[in-house]
Amino acid sequence: GEPDRVDINTQGNIHNNRQTRIQETGTYIGQITRGRQVIRGEDSFEEAPMYVAVLTYMGYGIVILFGYFRDFLRAVGLEKCHQAQEREEQKDFVPLYQDFENFYKRNLYMRVRDNWNRPICSLPGPVFDVMERVSDDYNWTFRLTGKTVENVINMGSYNYLGFAENNVDFLKTVAEETRQYGVGVCSTRQELGNFSIHEKLERLVAEFLGVESAMAFGMGFATNSMNIPALVGKSCLILSDELNHTSLILGARLSGATIRVFKHNNMQSLEKLLKEAICSGQPRTHRAWKKILIMVEGIYSMEGSLVRLPEILALKKKYKAYLFLDEAHSIGAVGPTGRGVTEHFGVDPNEVDVLMGTFTKSFGATGGYIAGKKELVDYLRSHSHSAVYATAMSPPVVEQIIRAIKCIMGVDGTTEGQRRVRQLSENMCYFRSRLKEMGFIVYGNQDSPVVPLLLYLPGKVGAFSRAMLKRKIGVVVVGFPATPITEARARFCVSAAHTREMLDKVLQSLDELGDHIRVKFSRHRPSHRQELYNETDFELDS
């Protein structure tokens, strides 16, 4: 789409204006590329005090010891075992349930299980209603009380631009498409499920991103796991960031390609693997790799950090590799006009070989897309398992995505989309800066709507979530194995739909609770993580 290419080419002025405003805060640094200055926020990974790490390990140690003791009581019949077990007549069979492998879930997760899977009974907008539930057997089972906790502030959903809404005027076109096409397609795109509205969506996505072509899929997770095996296979090499999402990891494993992992956002680690791949080739035979594919994310959902795209592109060009960029959390949420990390860094999206994103977050819908060269997309239409075997997207969902993209682009005749993009940027900068002022350790990038607040100790994870819900604030807490064992956290997702009053209420509650359970660990010390980004021997203007 030529209009979007004009937007991309003229965004140098946007970045220059941003630079003047942002450099005053002292939180941004510049990168020189193509003769102009590109601004990006610093990734922050503050190190916790030593006593916090010691207490965290002690906490897990005590819980594990009690776990072994309770397993002993269950084995001798002094305590009832609530978990699934083999029937007596099947004792001679290979066990279906691995008892020891469930040790963590049985003895640690069950203690705090009430903090997850809470049933929501309303629209998942900036506020929602939660069905109250209690447990009579220490979280093994739950029962609903019939009561509802109303108007809980939603700080956990990926509703970045607030399109998960129930506005009759906004959803009028979605209702019309439902009447025309129905709710279900009941067929694949290659059989009888290729509707005109699907092709309309794909043309709009390509125009929005500024690339030649795009293809939409009904599930975001499958967009990665089912398409990566179509792009690489045996005798190919995948270089994957250590913090990549499970969908990327599963897709890489299913492909049969060799997988090597580089340190998160560490350009020296990535370049070292690229050099070894070029010099040594494949194991045993030492033949050259058929393809080398670098897989990264735009925003990392657990760390809140941004990909170092200009440096990775320079390495890609230098070593003749391919780049797969997952923009699940960044498309719509990052960039002056919401076009993701390519716009944020002032990079031509056509320099990225495979652009992947989802409609499940910024667009308030479901599904995902692959975009790039027309040859790439045409190849996937006939070779991707997700394209050949999966049922086509529901027409009302497709129309919701079209409505959201048109709103962001401004082609609906309003400025509502750009207002939401600006509001999201203001909200996340305000929320993140206030948390740091209060003394919390906060990970991630200043321009990321994902804001991880570190809790560390296992006992504080459950206490934090329960106390926030009592204050009518819904949060997501995350611990091992989704995070390193010493880095349990609460993950906040800021939305354009959050008002300043909502954010202030959350911040006030966090300030009070942070003092009460003592999780204000920040001492503004430098991170122990190696900062090796500038030790590469390549130039950005390659």
User: Which residues form the domain of 518?
Assistant: 45-154+416-524
Instruction: Determine the angle formed by the axes of helices 196-209 and 2-9, rounding to 10 degrees.
Output: 20
Q: For each of the chain's 542 residues, which pLDDT tens digit applies?
A: 333 333 333 333 433 443 333 333 333 333 333 333 334 557 888 888 899 999 999 999 999 999 999 889 988 888 887 777 777 787 788 877 666 668 888 888 888 999 999 999 999 999 999 999 999 988 889 999 999 999 999 999 999 999 999 888 888 899 999 999 999 999 999 889 899 999 999 999 999 999 999 999 999 999 999 999 999 999 999 999 999 999 999 999 999 999 999 999 999 999 999 999 999 999 889 999 999 999 999 999 999 999 999 999 999 999 999 999 999 999 999 999 999 999 999 999 999 999 999 999 999 999 999 999 999 999 999 999 988 899 999 999 999 999 999 999 999 889 999 999 999 999 999 999 999 999 999 999 999 999 999 999 988 999 999 999 999 999 999 988 888 888 999 999 999 999 999 999 999 999 999 999 999 998 875 444 444 444 555 555 43
| 61 assigned to some structural domain | yes
| 28 assigned to some structural domain | no
Examine the fold and report which residue of 409, 429, 462 is the final residue of a domain before the chain moves on.
409
| 460 assigned to some structural domain | yes
Based on the fold, state whether residues 492 and 379 are members of the same structural domain.
Answer: no
Based on the fold, state whether residues 198 and 288 are members of the same structural domain.
Answer: yes
Based on the fold, state whether residues 173 and 305 are members of the same structural domain.
Answer: yes
Q: How many domains does the chain have?
A: 2
Based on the fold, state whether residues 298 and 371 are members of the same structural domain.
Answer: yes
Based on the fold, state whether residues 184 and 317 are members of the same structural domain.
Answer: yes
Residue 507 contacts residue 438 (beta carbons within 8 Å): yes
Based on the fold, state whether residues 124 and 211 are members of the same structural domain.
Answer: no
Based on the fold, state whether residues 134 and 238 are members of the same structural domain.
Answer: no
| 33 assigned to some structural domain | no
Based on the fold, state whether residues 82 and 172 are members of the same structural domain.
Answer: no
CATH number at residue 352: 3.40.640.10
Q: Strand pairing partners for 306?
A: 299
- Determine the Cα–Cα distance for residues 415 and 404; give it in Å rounded to an integer: 12
* DSSP-derived secondary structure for 42-104: PEE-PPPPHHHHHHHHHHHHHHHHHHHHHHHHHHTTSS---S----GGGTTSPPSS-TGGGHH
Q: How far, in Å, are 121, 407, 496, 505 from residue 502 at the CA level? A: 20, 24, 11, 5
Contacts of residue 284, Cβ cutoff 8 Å, sequence gap at least 6: none
Q: What pLDDT is recorded for position 94? A: 80
| 264 assigned to some structural domain | yes
Based on the fold, state whether residues 124 and 261 are members of the same structural domain.
Answer: no
Prediction pTM value: 0.86
Examine the fold and report which residue of 409, 435, 454 is the final residue of a domain before the chain moves on.
409
CATH number at residue 80: 3.90.1150.10
* DSSP-derived secondary structure for 362-414: TTSS--EEEEE-HHHHHHHHHH-HHHHHSBPPPHHHHHHHHHHHHHHHTTTS-
Q: What pLDDT is recorded for position 160? A: 96
Based on the fold, state whether residues 250 and 271 are members of the same structural domain.
Answer: yes
- Determine the Cα–Cα distance for residues 48 and 203; give it in Å rounded to an integer: 48
Does an H or E element contain 131, and which? Answer: strand 127-134
Based on the fold, state whether residues 431 and 324 are members of the same structural domain.
Answer: no
Q: What pLDDT is recorded for position 9? A: 36
Nearest to 540 by CA among 254, 330, 278, 347: 347
